[in-house]
Every structure is written in C-alpha cells, then in structure tokens.
Amino acid sequence: MTYRSSRWIPRILLSLGLAFASTTPTLAADIDYGKVGEPVKLVIGYQPYYTQSWSGVVMRDKKFYEKYLPKGSTVDFAIGLQGAIIVNAMLAGKQHIGYVGDMPGIVATTKQDVADIRIVATLGMGTDQCNIFLARPDAPQFASQKDAIKWLDGKQVAVPKGSCSDRFAQEIFKAEKVQPAAYLNQNLEVITSGFRAKKIDAAVVWEPMASRLVQEGLAKRIVSGEVIKERDGGFLTMRADLIKQRPDIVKAWLNAELDAQLFLADPKNAAEVARMAAKQTTGLTEKMMWASLYGQNPAAVGGAPTRLHMPYIINDDAMNLINKASKFLFSIKSINVESLRPDAVMPDLAKAVLNERGLNSPIGQVTALAESEFKGK
C-alpha cells in the first residue's frame, strides 16, 4: 500500500451490494472501481484538524487496511481542513471515502444530482468535541455553566456558521434566552485573530482548536454540550458507486475502521495517537492533541467524563443526531430537505461487520484522563 501526504466477501454484504445495484440508477459521475476481488485505488479524505474523526489519523499511520484490502491496492490520504472540502472532493469523484463531521456528512447526502454519497458508520459522538464555548481569558470566573451562558447576553460571539458549533450555539441561546450583541460568522483563523486582538468576547469551536486556543492563553473554556447533554458526532461517508460496485472494499474498509476505533479507545495508545495527530498537522503540539481527545477538563466548564462515545454503527443516538442536525441545516437553508431520503444512511453495512466480528455496540469509549497521565512532549 502507498499513500501521499496531502479478503473475503461476506454473503450479506455481497447481497446488499447487488440489491443496491438493482435499485440505484447509474449516474454520469460513476467511477469504475474494477471487479470484486481486484486491487483498488482509493483516495481517502480525512480531518486531522477535527478530533472526533481521528480514526482516520490512526488509519493513515497504522495502515490497518492492508490486512483487508486486495493485495496490490493503493490508498492515498488527503487532508481536509474542513469537512466541506472533503465533501466537494467526493462529489467531484476525487475522493471515495470521507471522514467528516455530522453537518458536512449530512449535506453530502443531499447532493445526489451531482454524486450519490452515503453515511455508513459512526466515527464517534461526544458532548465536548464540537460543542465548546470559549471566552476571552479575562472573562469572569463563573460559578457554573449556566452563569457563563447568561454572561454571553450582549456580547460579541463568533462561530463558523453552518457548522456543528453553530447548531450548538443557537440551541444554547434559544434554551437560555440569550441574545448576543453580535453573532459573527468567522472561520477558525479569524476567531484566533479575534481573541488575540480582543475583538470578540466568546466563540464556539471544535477540538483540537479549543485545546490549542486554551494552551496558547488566548481563551478559556466556559461551557460545553454537557450543560444540556447536546451531542455532536463524526461519520464515515462513502460514494454510492463504490458501495454498489465493490462490496468487498466496503467490507474491508469497515473492518479496518473498526480496528482503528478500537485502537483509539485504548488509553494505552493515547500518547501514540497524540504523536500521530501532531505529525499529520501543523501548528499543533502533542500536548494540545492529547488534551483535545484524552484530557480531562473541569466539570464546572463543561468537562465531560467521557470524551468520545464509540458506537461504530449508526445507532439510535447517531440517527437522532442526524435527524436533528438535518432539521437545523434545513432551517438555515443549507439543504433543501428537512429529513434525509431513506437510503442516505446505510446502517446495515457496519452492523454486518460488527456481527461477523462478534462484537457489540458500543465498541468502546475514550474516558477523560488527568493531565498527569500525559506522557508526550
């Protein structure tokens, strides 16, 4: 196997693939992946700058896929700074499998007039991975998250609009009847500059950017999804033409993904995962990376005892998140449907792999560790 920087076919999967082929029209954008059992060339879009999708980071470094793909296959990994970049590349046929957050994953499935993309597995779910309010360092020391939320009233708040962070922020404002003086649409780079120049009071961001801003002294945590048990999530997406033509490749990748998630969930691997993530990014240290996934934060500022829940399959919690996020995206006119078409989400593929491996969902979780547990640089 090779990648650039930027063996068997279970009967149930083969039958699913054949059923898919008989009910799905051939699109002009379909790619030829070869015949079942032949080597395949895959391009994987993944986000080392989004902690909840780090099974992709593990996959690139550990190459678990080599155990399952046909011999002679090649795998290239392409970094996406945002999920939308990966979605656009998948729609254009330049990438075939994508590791994305819930919002871009949902949007991808609604573009079937360009290319058909499906959600096939859950990468992870949490309450403080994308749902994190940060405040300027000189903000008051709040007695509780609810007090911190009240402080946001009349303040300058920034968020990348249309993101999972935007959904969470609006949910909080609505629940607590808070009205910021300004609700600014800013990307992570502008938010960083805003904190540095003291032009914003607060922002909602995702990991590992939250840990970076905190460790650089530019912001402090004040609230997370723990306050209202609001979950965020990451999902594995695949082009439908890949699923249709190559059920063997789908099976292989899902097996490797399962291995990657099991590796991620093992606390003995925390330092190694942080090193992998730091190596595959720029401007982020091992300590920032470790803190973003494994680090423990005080409960008073929204620290969750479990940083990542790992159902692997698309279970009820994941489906509820997809449905809720779809309604939000429709309300802000990011998608033109309030609920996804029935075949946009394909839960049976991951379920088949899990059943064959004799495992149950959830397959694991990442429990928060004290800072003294950090063993990296």
For residues 228 and 281, what is the distance between their CA atoms, to the nearest angstrom? 32
The reply to whether 26 and 86 lie within a common domain is: yes
Which residues partner with 367 through β-bridges?
306
Same domain flag for 334 and 273: yes
One domain for residues 297 and 280: yes
Residues 46, 152 within the same domain: no
Q: What mean pLDDT do residues 26-34 have?
A: 75
- Final residue belonging to a domain, choices 169, 194, 227: 227
CB 277 within 8 A of CB 108: no
Shared-domain flag, residues 162 and 283:
no
Contact assessment for residue 73 and residue 34, using Cβ atoms and an 8 Å cutoff: no
- Tokens standing for residue 163: 């993101």
- Mean predicted confidence (pLDDT) in 294-323: 97
* Burial of 95 (C-beta count, 10 Å sphere; 0-12/13-18/19+): buried
Q: Are residues 252 and 329 in the same domain?
A: yes
Asked if the structure places residue 281 within a domain, the reply is: yes
DSSP state of 248: H
Residue 156: inside a domain: yes
Q: How confident is the model over 77-97, as a mean pLDDT? A: 96
Are 237 and 328 in a shared domain? yes
Q: Considering 205, 227, 249, which residue would you say is the last residue of a domain?
A: 227
pLDDT tens for residues 229-288? 999 999 999 999 999 999 999 999 999 999 999 999 999 999 999 999 999 999 999 999
**DSSP character string of 6-27:** -----HHHHHHHHHHHHHSPPP
What pLDDT is recorded for position 17? Answer: 37
Q: What is the CATH number of the domain that holds 51?
A: 3.40.190.10
**25 CA to centre of own chain:** 29
Last residue of a domain, one of 206, 227, 248: 227
| Per-residue model confidence as pLDDT tens digits over 175-224 | 999 999 999 999 999 999 999 999 999 999 999 999 999 999 999 999 99
Residue 68 confidence (pLDDT) above 70? yes
Query: According to the model, what pLDDT value does residue 33 have?
Result: 98
As for how many domains the chain has, the answer is: 2
For residues 115 and 139, state if they share a domain: no
Q: What is the predicted pLDDT for the residue at 16?
A: 38
Are residues 289 and 205 part of one domain? no
**Whether residues 272 and 360 fall in one domain:** yes
In a 13 Å sphere around the CA of 322, the CA atoms on its Cβ side amount to 30
The count of other CB atoms within 10 Å of the CB of residue 179 is 10
DSSP character at residue 345? B
If asked whether residues 253 and 181 sit together in one domain, one would say: no
pTM value is 0.91
Residue 243: give the domain boundaries: 11-126+232-373
What element of type H or E holds 366? strand 364-367
Whether 238 and 97 have beta carbons less than 8 Å apart is answered as: yes
Q: What is the mean pLDDT of residues 167-171?
A: 96
Kindly indicate the confidence band of residue 29, based on its pLDDT and cuts at 50, 70 and 90.
low
Residue 331: inside a domain = yes
Does 12 score more than 70 pLDDT? no
Residue 21: what pLDDT?
36
**Is residue 3 included in any domain, yes or no?**
no
